[in-house]
Structure 1
Amino acid sequence: MPHPTELTVHQKSRVLDVAYDDGSAFSLPFEYLRVYSPSAEVKGHGPGQEVLQLGKREVGIADVEQVGNYAIKPTFSDGHDSGIFSWDYLYELGRSQESLWKQYVARLQAAGYDEESGRAPGIQLAAAPKKSGGGGCGSGSCGC
C-alpha cells in the first residue's frame, strides 16, 4: 500500500487533504470521515451493527494526533475521538469516496429522508463530497 507524504487539515473548508507516494491525493470532507470513522461506536462490533451517523454536516476536527507511523486519531468537534484512521484506511476511503458517499446517502434516505421536502427530523443531508486538488491553507497540518 502507498504511504502518505502530506496531510493537511483545512479548518475553513472542513476537508482533510492526504497525498500519497504513489502520486494519488484525496480531499476527504470531515463529515465523510466522521460518518465512516473506524471506531466501534460507528462500525459496531460486527457486520450489521453499524450505527447511522446523523447531523454531522457541520462537524469539525479540533485536533489530529499521529499514532505511531501508521495512523492518525482525529478529535472531532462533536467529541468523537475513538477512531484510529490507518494510512491504508484513509487511502481506501479516498479511492472509494464516491461509492461510499452514495451508500451513506441511501442509508439516510432509508432512515426517512424525504426527497420532495428535502428534510427529515434530525437529518441534515450535505452535498456529495467532491474530489479536488490540495494546496496548503496553513490552517493546520501534520507532516507524515
Structure 2
Amino acid sequence: MSAPTPTLVHYHRKARELEIGYADGSRHRLSVEYLRVFSPSAEVRGHGGDTATLQVGKKDVGLADITQAGRYALKLHFDDGHDSGLYSWDYLDWLIREREANWADYLQRLDEAGASREPLGIEIRQL
C-alpha cells in the first residue's frame, strides 16, 4: 500500500515541529528531534542488522532547510549538519503511525545506554 502524498509541509521553527498535511484534511506534527533520531540515512540506521547508531543529544536540533526529492520524498537539512536521509512518503507515513511506539523505544534505548537527549557539551553551529 502506497502512502498518500502530502499537500502541505510547514516547519514551525519556534516549536521545532514539522507539520505534514494531506488532501483528506488530516495534519500531523512531528518534532524535529524525532525526525532526526529516526533519520532513514545509513549514518543513523546502519547497513542492516544491529549496525544502527543511537542518536544522543538531539533535543534542541532544528531544521536549516527542507527540499523535495522528486515526487516521492523530502530531504531534511538539520542544523547539526545532518542531511543525508530521504524521507519518502511511505517512511513519513510510518513515522506518523508509529510515533508513540517509536518514541517509547528510543527513550528506552537511551536509558539502557545511559545516554541523554540533552546536547553534549558546547554547541557549535556554522551558518
When normalised by structure 1's length, the TM-score is 0.77
Provide structure 2 residue ranges, at least 5 long, that are not aligned to the other structure: 119-127
Percent identical residues: 52
Q: Residue deviations 1:86-113, cap 9 Å, x none?
A: 1111111011100000000000010015
Look up the equivalent residue of 1:2 and give its one-letter code.
P
Which sits farther off after the overlay, 85-94 or 21-30?
A: 21-30
1:10 matched to 2:12: yes
Aligned residues: 116
Distance in 2 of aligned mates of 1:110 and 1:23: 39
Higher relative contact order at CA 8 Å, sep ≥6: structure 1 or structure 2? 1
TM-superposed deviation, 1:75: 0.7
Q: Deviation of residue 39 (structure 1)? A: 0.0
Matched residue SS, 1:4: coil
Query: Residue 71 of structure 1: CA displacement?
Result: 0.7
Unaligned stretches of 5+ in structure 1?
Answer: 114-122, 126-144
Name the counterpart of 1:80. 82
Q: How do residues 40-119 of structure 1 correspond to structure 2 at under 5 angstroms?
A: 40-112=42-114
1: CA distance, partners of 2:20 / 2:48? 28
**Distance in 2, Cα, partners of 1:48 & 1:22:** 38
Does structure 2 conserve the Cα–Cα contact (< 8 Å) formed by 1:2 and 1:22?
Answer: no
CA distance in 2, matches of 1:124, 1:64: 23
Whole-Å separation in 2 of the counterparts to 1:57 and 1:112: 16
Q: Which residue of 2 aligns with 1:131?
A: none
Residue type at the aligned position of 1:69: R
